[in-house]
Amino acid sequence: MKSCLIVDDSAVIRKIIRQNLESFGITCNEAENGAVAKSFCETETPDIVMLDWNMPVMNGLEFLQQLRAMTNGDKPVVIFCTTENDMDHIHKALAAGANDFIMKPFDRDIIHGKLEQNNLLPAE
């Protein structure tokens, strides 16, 4: 079973993403900022990271840079789920190792499409 770490400072966004991912058969854990996410990834490597950009303590880009430097940090598919959609942010994220983007607001079909594009949906 695929696993996902949802990293967003909004409990509402985490809940929406979790409900969608679980409906696709993906198990989820949550972190409210990059520092909590980093601690999680030091003990467990998820298959997917759904990552917000703007968060307190440690933002998404900082977390991504630290994740990619960790042992097995190259394994998770990282999908930024953010309102930051200008080319500068996208280039920075891709350079740091992001695999894809979902722009907020999003819906179930958008999440499903991104998971499908990245071969992350569990076999039916």
- CATH number assigned to the domain comprising residue 87: 3.40.50.2300
List all residues 6 or more positions away from 121 whose beta carbon is below 8 Å from its beta carbon: 2, 24, 25, 112, 115
How many contiguous H segments (helices) and E segments (strands) does the chain have?
5, 5
Question: In the chain, how many domains are there?
Answer: 1
Of 25-29, 45-49, 114-118, where does mean pLDDT reach its minimum?
Answer: 114-118
Cβ atoms 78, 34 nearer than 8 A: no
Q: Whose CA is closest to 59, among 83, 28, 43? A: 83
DSSP 124: -
For residues 27 and 21, give the distance between their C-alpha atoms in angstroms, rounded to a whole number: 7
**Tens digits of residue pLDDT in 24-38:** 999 999 999 999 999
Q: Kindly report the number of other CB atoms within 10 A of residue 101's CB atom.
A: 19
Region 77-87: mean pLDDT is 86
Is 96 domain-assigned?
yes
- This prediction has a pTM of 0.93
Structural domain containing residue 42? 3-117
pLDDT of residue 13: 93
Q: Whose CA is closest to 41, among 65, 61, 71, 9? A: 71
Is 122 domain-assigned?
no
| Positive or negative: CA dihedral 19, 24, 29, 35 | negative
Is 124 domain-assigned?
no
Is 123 domain-assigned?
no
The answer to whether residue 60 scores a pLDDT higher than 90 is yes
The answer to whether residue 124 scores a pLDDT higher than 70 is no
